[in-house]
């Protein structure tokens, strides 16, 4: 026994020398992302930080978290977290032993509520957030240079929008951690898993913890990933972070840790928790922690028994809410005691007795006061708490004269219900967890669990009758105009049922009913509380239709027409329109145009006036404008296009000689042979007429002068060819004595020869000319003299 005692004391001595000097404060922790549930993108971010309980831990006060896009590490957001809860002590099974090993720990919780815009977080690759800090424990035995190694809390989450729809998700949640130390060569298990609030699948695996960018520098700048791993010492890895047989492992489904350690020391490790939905990974959380392995003496404390005071022996008990049960175990002055609920050490529960008032599975662990040995656990004792706390749920409504309300509370087996109205018990079957009432009053119910005698009396519910539903019909008038409808508005409720002359109108259930038929209308309305009301009858009359006529007004040519008397029926109406005064219409005052004249009868104040209309036409008198004279040559074809006004639609040319069509507006003259005078008669749609004539002169040849004097005196300055206008296709060429062309025209001689050559006066003398009347005729040659 002495070698073991010597080894244990030496190990405790070394720990006592090293750990207080090198103690820093980071132990482990994780990030959680919880959907608050009120607004898409509204989250509560929680950083759980396990710290050694020392002065350095007291200085920890939160920090900044960065959110980044996984695809390219783009920074999306930075926000701060602050401490949100009181710091809690991590409870060890053997607190005295943990204290001697410098294993005092606390839990610090930091948090912030953030609002993310889902449309900004729609990348299919997802996003991650990180919280970086420094100061791992200097006494860690499985990583290189732990004092200069930082710490990165890391969480991945999916896009908030998928296929245009909001993707609701929260990260896994984790329970509190027990304080534990490990005994060398002793098997050890530890619950390290979580639960997913969305029911997603969680997969666990060992992974290398993360360092922070910049190592253990004190920079507070938030930086994007990727983040460096910590550096393992030789022989250590994610699946060998604690040497043993087996080494530290995690169950991939439950997250439970297991190890039989084979080496003394303080070891850090990390577990990756991956979140899957429908077989697809959607998120990830990394969770860090550390364990101390010590050399424990053989177990000497036996497994303690647990029983309930004043109760027969059992492993399951049931109590009523508000009551308590005392659990106790054997008293031994050499033992330390630590009670647990659901596997978690309870604070300040270190005696032989424990008063229980919450449901759960309880046990007690004992260890020797004089040794840091492995603790022994009792059997599990399950405590159920019957909680009858409830409230009456009313459904229905007591209306002014009728209605009913069904009161209900949750049902269950072995239950009895005593209902009371105004503190007098209502006679109903005892197993009825519902009560339907038709009268106002003060109602409550006492629930009793008959097997265990638990009872609870609810708060009183006060029920009163609702006020009378004031149904009514509103409308601006009571009569329907011919061919129109009258909107009736039902008021006083949220749903509407209309009737006409006592018959339901099944097709209308809106508050507005546009009626087109005379009759007596009522509306039954239903208020929000379900109560109904019926309006007073609303009588609607039909205004008989009226026929209004107006006699036609004769059309006139020009503005010198007579004044006409206007006539309309029935009498008593009003005439209006251009040129109208009273019942007189003056075309001169109206002017040229098509004028709308109206006759209006106001036959009912509710209705628009009845109107008859006629069109009064004051047509313009047509005009014809011809050229003073048209000159042409024999055999020519041409078109006569007069300028016309007054909108004529009928045309008559006379005589029809040489005309292709004597009824066209533009006369086509074909192969003219002699001089002729044409007369054109026109008429517009109103019957207004006009007449005009045009003279066509036919010249058989062009008269060519033999000389001209282009000296700028205004007399004979151009070589004028008489009758040339009769030959529109004439070609004229002038040559000098060397045969060079000095003038040429084929545009009907529109620009006569002015005695210049390219803008320079031509020398006086003789010039030759050649004239071709039309392309098919022979040339007419001669001599021209320019005199100066």
Task: Label the pairing between strands 689-698 and 630-632.
Answer: parallel
Q: Report, as an integer, the average pLDDT of 282-293.
A: 95
Cβ–Cβ < 8 Å for 238, 286: no
The angle formed by the CA atoms of residues 310, 316 and 322, to the nearest 5 degrees, is 65
Q: Report, as an integer, the average pLDDT of 711-739.
A: 90
Average pLDDT for the chain: 90
Q: What does the DSSP assignment read for 674-728?
A: S-EEEEEEEEETT--EEEEEEEEEE-SS-B--SEE--SSSSSS-S---BTGGG-T
What is the structure's pLDDT at 88? Answer: 87
Higher pLDDT, 24 or 466: 466
pLDDT in tens, 167-206: 999 999 998 888 888 999 999 999 999 999 999 999 999 9
Q: Report, as an integer, the average pLDDT of 720-730.
A: 87
Q: What Å distances lie between residue 155 and 201, 283, 343, CA to CA?
A: 16, 7, 27
Q: What does the DSSP assignment read for 160-182?
A: SEETTEE------EE----B--E
Domains of the chain: 2-294 (no CATH), 306-386 (2.60.40.10), 393-463 (2.60.40.10), 472-542 (2.60.40.10), 549-619 (2.60.40), 623-698 (2.60.40.10), 707-786 (2.60.40.3580)
CA separation for the pair 512, 493 (Å, rounded): 12
Name the band, by pLDDT with cuts 50, 70 and 90, for residue 17: very low
Task: Enumerate residues 6+ apart whose C-beta is below 8 A from 563.
Answer: 584, 585, 586, 587
Name the band, by pLDDT with cuts 50, 70 and 90, for residue 57: low
Mean pLDDT lowest among 469-483, 516-530, 586-600, 694-708? 694-708
Q: Report, as an integer, the average pLDDT of 446-466.
A: 96
CA separation for the pair 285, 193 (Å, rounded): 11
Task: Label the pairing between strands 593-601 and 610-619.
Answer: antiparallel
Three-class DSSP category at 503: strand
Token representation of residue 177:
């951690």
- Nearest by Cα to 24 from 72, 47, 57, 66: 57
With a pLDDT cut of 90, the percent of the chain lying above it is 74
Q: Compute the CA torsion angle 504, 507, 512, 517 (nearest 10 deg).
A: -70
Residue 784 has pLDDT above 80, yes or no: yes
Task: Enumerate residues 6+ apart whose C-beta is below 8 A from 750.
Answer: none
Name the band, by pLDDT with cuts 50, 70 and 90, for residue 58: low
Side-chain-side CA neighbours of residue 295 (13 Å): 15
What is the structure's pLDDT at 23? Answer: 38
- Phi, psi (deg, nearest 5) at residue 97: -65, -40
pLDDT in tens, 373-383: 788 899 999 99
What is the structure's pLDDT at 539? Answer: 97
Residue 1 has pLDDT above 60, yes or no: no
Other CB atoms within a 10 A radius of the CB of residue 672 amount to 19
- Nearest by Cα to 443 from 402, 411, 396, 401: 396
Q: Report, as an integer, the average pLDDT of 244-271.
A: 96
Token representation of residue 201:
């699948």
Task: Enumerate residues 6+ apart whose C-beta is below 8 A from 260.
Answer: 185, 186, 187, 188, 244, 245, 246
């Amino acid at each position: 026994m002495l070698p073991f005692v010597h080894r244990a004391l030496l190990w405790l001595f070394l720990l006592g020398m090293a750990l207080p000097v090198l103690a820093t404060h980071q132990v482990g922790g994780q990030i959680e992302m919880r959907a608050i549930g009120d607004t898409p993108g509204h989250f509560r971010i929680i950083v759980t930080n396990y710290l050694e309980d020392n002065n350095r831990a007291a200085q920890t006060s939160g920090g900044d978290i960065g959110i980044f896009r996984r695809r390219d590490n783009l920074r999306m957001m930075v926000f701060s977290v602050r401490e949100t809860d009181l710091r809690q002590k991590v409870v060890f099974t053997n607190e005295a032993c943990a204290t001697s090993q410098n294993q005092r720990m606390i839990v610090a919780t930091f948090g912030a509520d953030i609002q993310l815009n889902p449309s900004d977080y729609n990348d299919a690759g997802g996003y991650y957030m990180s919280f970086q800090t420094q100061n791992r424990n200097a006494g860690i035995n499985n990583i290189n240079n732990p004092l200069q190694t930082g710490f990165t809390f890391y969480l991945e989450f999916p896009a908030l929008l998928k296929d245009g729809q909001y993707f609701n998700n929260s990260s896994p949640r984790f329970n509190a951690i027990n304080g534990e130390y490990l005994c060398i060569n002793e098997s050890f298990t530890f619950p390290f898993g979580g639960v997913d609030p969305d029911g997603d699948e969680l997969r666990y695996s060992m992974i290398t913890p993360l360092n922070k960018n910049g190592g253990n520098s004190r920079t507070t700048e938030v930086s994007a990933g990727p983040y460096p791993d910590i550096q393992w010492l030789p022989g250590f890895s994610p699946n060998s972070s604690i040497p043993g047989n087996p080494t530290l492992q995690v169950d991939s489904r439950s997250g439970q840790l297991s190890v039989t350690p084979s080496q003394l020391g303080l070891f850090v490790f990390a577990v990756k928790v991956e979140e899957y939905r429908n077989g697809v990974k959607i998120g990830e959380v990394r969770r860090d922690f550390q364990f101390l392995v010590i050399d424990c003496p053989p177990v000497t404390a036996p497994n303690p028994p647990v029983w309930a005071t004043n109760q027969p022996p059992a492993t399951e008990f049931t109590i009523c809410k508000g009551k308590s049960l005392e659990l106790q175990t054997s008293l031994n002055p050499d033992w330390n005691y630590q009670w647990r609920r659901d596997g978690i050490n309870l604070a300040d529960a270190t005696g032989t007795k424990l008063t229980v008032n919450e449901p759960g599975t309880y046990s007690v662990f004992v260890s020797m006061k004089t040794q840091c040995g492995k603790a022994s656990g009792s059997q599990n004792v399950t405590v159920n708490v019957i909680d009858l706390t409830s409230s009456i749920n009313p459904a229905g409504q007591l209306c002014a004269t009728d209605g009913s309300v069904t009161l209900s509370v949750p049902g269950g087996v072995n239950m009895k219900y005593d209902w009371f109205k105004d503190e007098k018990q209502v006679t109903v079957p005892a197993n009825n967890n519902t009560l339907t009432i038709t009268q106002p009053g003060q109602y409550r119910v006492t629930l009793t669990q008959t097997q265990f005698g638990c009872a609870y009396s609810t708060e009183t519910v006060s029920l009163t009758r609702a006020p009378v539903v004031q149904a009514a019909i509103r409308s601006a008038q009571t009569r329907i105009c011919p061919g129109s409808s009258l909107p009736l508005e039902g008021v006083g409720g949220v749903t509407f049922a209309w009737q006409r002359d006592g018959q339901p109108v099944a097709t209308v259930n809106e508050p507005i009913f546009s009626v087109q038929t005379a009759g007596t209308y009522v509306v039954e309305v239903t208020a929000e509380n379900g109560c109904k009301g019926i309006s007073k009858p609303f009588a609607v009359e039909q205004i008989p239709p009226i026929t209004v006529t107006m006699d036609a007004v004769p059309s006139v040519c020009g503005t010198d027409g007579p004044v006409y008397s206007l006539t309309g029926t029935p009498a008593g109406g009003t005439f209006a329109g251009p040129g109208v005064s009273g019942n007189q219409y003056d075309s001169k005052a109206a002017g040229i145009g098509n004028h709308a004249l109206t006759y209006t009868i106001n036959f009912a104040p509710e209705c628009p006036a009845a109107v008859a209309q006629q069109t009064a036409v004051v047509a313009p008198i047509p005009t014809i404008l011809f050229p003073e004279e048209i000159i042409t040559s024999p055999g020519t074809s041409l078109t006569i296009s007069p300028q016309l006004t007054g909108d004529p639609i009928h045309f008559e040319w006379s005589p029809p000689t040489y005309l292709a069509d004597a009824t066209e507006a533009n006369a086509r003259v074909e192969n003219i042979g002699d001089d002729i005078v044409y007369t054109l008669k026109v008429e517009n749609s109103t019957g207004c007429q006009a007449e005009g004539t045009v003279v066509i002169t036919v010249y058989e040849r062009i008269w060519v002068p033999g000389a001209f004097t282009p000296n700028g005196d205004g007399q004979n300055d151009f070589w004028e060819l008489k009758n040339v206008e009769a030959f529109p296709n004439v070609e004229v060429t002038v040559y000098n004595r060397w045969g060079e062309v000095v003038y040429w025209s084929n545009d009907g001689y529109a620009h006569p020869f002015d005695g210049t050559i390219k803008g320079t006066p031509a020398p006086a003398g003789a010039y030759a000319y050649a004239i071709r009347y039309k392309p098919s005729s022979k040339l007419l040659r001669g001599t021209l003299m320019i005199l100066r």
